[in-house]
A and B are shown apart, each in its own frame.
Chain A
Amino acid sequence: MATIAVALTGNPNTGKSTIFNELTGARQKIGNWPGVTVDKKVGYARHQDRAISIVDLPGTYSINARSPEEKIVIDYLMNNKLDLVMDVVDSSNIERNLFLTVQLLEKGIPLLIDLNMADDAERRGIKIDCRKLEDALGMPVVQTVGRSSKSARKLLDIFTSTVMSNYEPSQLVKDHIIKVQEIEASGKTESEKQEEIIEARYALIDTVIAQAVTMSNVGQTKSEKIDRFLANGVLALPIFLAIMYGVFMITFEWIGQPIADALDSLINEDFLDFATDALTDAGVAEWLVSLVCDGIIGGVGAVLTFVPLIFVLFFCLSFLDGTGYMARIAFIMDPIMRRCGLTGKGIMPLMMGFGCGVPAIMGARALDSEKDRMVSILVTPFLTCGAKLPIMALFAAMFFPDNAANVVFAMYISGVIMAIIAAKGLGSSIFKDKGSTFLLELPPYRMPDMKSVLLETWDKGKGYLVKAGTIIFAASVLLWVLSNYNFDGPCEIDESILAVLGGWMSNLFVFHGFATWESGAALLSGIMAKETVVATIGVLYGAADVSTEAADAVESAGQMMQTGMATSFTALSALAFMVFSQLYTPCVTALGTIKKEAGGWKWMAFSAVYMFVIAWVVSLLVYQIGRLLGF
């Protein structure tokens, strides 16, 4: 028998993706819709010996074909032969959700209406009579509770049945369609017609609701009670900071760091010793032992050590994202963003910037105005992305062992503040045009679906592992070669090509307190990928002889790095170095994305140069002011 083709449609925040994940599990393929860069998600399921393919259409509020997403939904539904279209409706928000339903019915698309989160709605005092709703619309209705395998089985049962063939639109819907056609045919202006049609749709919805839904007003919902603290007045901002601080404590103090420390001693002591002995015993040439141990294990190992931190941080951010708190952050940050000439919505791509600048820069596309977009693209790289995290964590652990988490948190905040200042600066100089708008649904708080959170954490964290195995691996080999050879052949490390390059670079930092060729080389290599800064430090200081007398330096950071590093930096110059790495020129991948998104080499070059200059100045200020203050 042929595969059953199913499409899922619905508003954003209806739990549609959760249902999709529940239905298809890991059997998903993600591609692109032709012509646009919106994800096309297709999943597969088998039920009662039937193969089912399910397409998860983008979540939209309407299908006016104004945005690419809306266009995708309507094009896909109109041009494909589908066995079943399921419209996922959030039961507790049924009125506005039905708007899309009505629009789809107007197009003559038969729908299976899925009243999702039926349990939520019931708790809020919204009772929906499925039979009456079926009668009112003429379409089959099913109730689900989001993430439950029972719901998934129920849906699969329906998908494999022939239920759709028995339904046709109710008289109510047919009358509505005629009314819409009359409005279309009238001689009014386009906007008048649109207005009347929208009103007609809501009039139909009101009739349907009156027939099928009873709302006993239960007063405040749980979300509203929470919002009285999290999204109300000036108090919301310190709470936001406290929540973010909590995330950092979890990552850098309570959970992430202890695991990272354990991994560190495993890689940089046990495994390194084992590898060195094994290779030497096997009779491998000395230079190759050095390449593997000092170069690759030193470089890649230094980066891998931070994998636990990355995963814990990504888990926390994905979790927050799943609760619905992100929309509140946009809401409470809008006053600040607006004063910078931006929109609160811009905070969402910025928050992604804590993960990686690349998707954050791409995420700026969702913003409404050209100005919002450009400014957001140009300021996002100031934030501490996952790849800068190891730099911060390493230096904080080495030079501020008692305050590591606080110092890292301060670095993150400084990145945000710098981004806001830069946004203000860019907004009032280069991009002077009209302001922006802000219209955003505040979805109810929900306990995130753990399966989705874990999937997301893994997907984001996996990239870090892939990078460690590819670009960091290659960079480590290159760095080892550059640091062990010059044009005359093998040489001492401080006569190597890398020392020359780093020395040249370090001339820029004479007044910053870290004018060593090692830090110059580290920063230079950081342009490839920010993790490389740590990899370089691993290779360089790892290659230096570890003398026992400096063993008292720090316990938490890599044993290998202690000696050389501890003497190259003071606490203050380490801080200046952290500030510089935080703010300077983004990595090549981010630069490439900027070129693509901002449209041209000009913006890419601008971004590379202006960020370098700002980093140079701010870092200089930190060091010199710190010195004046006597640190």
Chain B
Amino acid sequence: MATFIVAAVLAVALFFALRHIYRNFHEGKSDCCGASECSGSCCGCHSVPEKK
């Protein structure tokens, strides 16, 4: 029983982790600078304009 519960919890956690990875991959995002946002004068996290 305990085995089942722990395994289920792990499976759910793994599902969310994989979903997060998949979504990041899909949207071309990276976790390096925080999941999505970055405030202050955070250099590099906010992308810089393309010089054309």
Interface pair A474/B14, CB less than 8 Å apart: yes
Cβ contacts under 8 Å, A321 to chain B: 41, 43
Interface pair B49/A38, CB less than 8 Å apart: yes
Q: Which of A52-106 contact B (CB under 8 A)?
A: 58, 67-69
Assembly CA distance A385 to B31 (angstroms): 13
Interface 1/0s, chain B 22-40, versus A by CB < 8 A? 0001001011111111111
Partner among B17, B18, B32, B52 whose Cβ is within 8 Å of the Cβ of A463: B32
Partner among B20, B34, B47 whose Cβ is within 8 Å of the Cβ of A37: B47
Given A37-B47, A37-B49, check contact A283 B3 (CB 8 Å). Answer: yes
Cβ contacts under 8 Å, A120 to chain B: none
Assembly CA distance A385 to B38 (angstroms): 18
B binding-site residues for A, Cβ under 8 Å: 1-3, 6-7, 10, 13-14, 16-18, 20-21, 25, 28, 30-52
Q: How large is the interface on A (under 10, 10 to 19, 20 to 34, 35 or more residues)?
A: 35 or more
In the complex, what's the smallest C-beta–C-beta distance from A345 to chain B, in angstroms?
11
Cβ contacts under 8 Å, A386 to chain B: 32
Q: Is A174 an interface residue (CB 8 A)?
A: no
Of chain B, the residue at the smallest CB distance from A589 is: B30
Query: What are 23 A-B contacts defined by CB distance under 8 Å?
Result: A18-B41, A30-B37, A37-B50, A39-B38, A68-B49, A288-B3, A296-B10, A318-B42, A352-B44, A356-B32, A358-B32, A359-B30, A449-B40, A455-B40, A456-B40, A458-B34, A459-B37, A466-B35, A470-B21, A471-B17, A471-B21, A471-B31, A474-B18
Assembly CA distance A41 to B39 (angstroms): 8
Partner among B32, B40, B46 whose Cβ is within 8 Å of the Cβ of A589: B32
In the complex, what's the smallest C-beta–C-beta distance from A124 to chain B, in angstroms?
22
Cβ contacts under 8 Å, B34 to chain A: 458-460, 462-463, 466
Interface pair B10/A30, CB less than 8 Å apart: no
Q: Which of A334-355 contact B (CB under 8 A)?
A: 348-349, 352, 355
Partner among B35, B41, B45, B49 whose Cβ is within 8 Å of the Cβ of A359: B45
Q: Is A284 an interface residue (CB 8 A)?
A: yes
Assembly CA distance A299 to B17 (angstroms): 15
Give 11 A-B pairs besides A296-B10, A385-B32 with Cβ atoms closer than 8 angstroms: A38-B46, A69-B49, A291-B10, A358-B33, A359-B44, A365-B48, A459-B33, A460-B42, A463-B35, A474-B14, A474-B18
Interface centre among B28, B34, B35, B43 (most CB of A within 10 A): B43
Cβ contacts under 8 Å, A462 to chain B: 34-35
In the complex, what's the smallest C-beta–C-beta distance from A24 to chain B, in angstroms?
9
Cβ contacts under 8 Å, A282 to chain B: 2, 6
Cβ contacts under 8 Å, B7 to chain A: 288
In the complex, what's the smallest C-beta–C-beta distance from A381 to chain B, in angstroms?
13
Of chain B, the residue at the smallest CB distance from A281 is: B2
Assembly CA distance A31 to B21 (angstroms): 20
Interface pair B39/A283, CB less than 8 Å apart: no
Cβ contacts under 8 Å, A39 to chain B: 38, 46-47
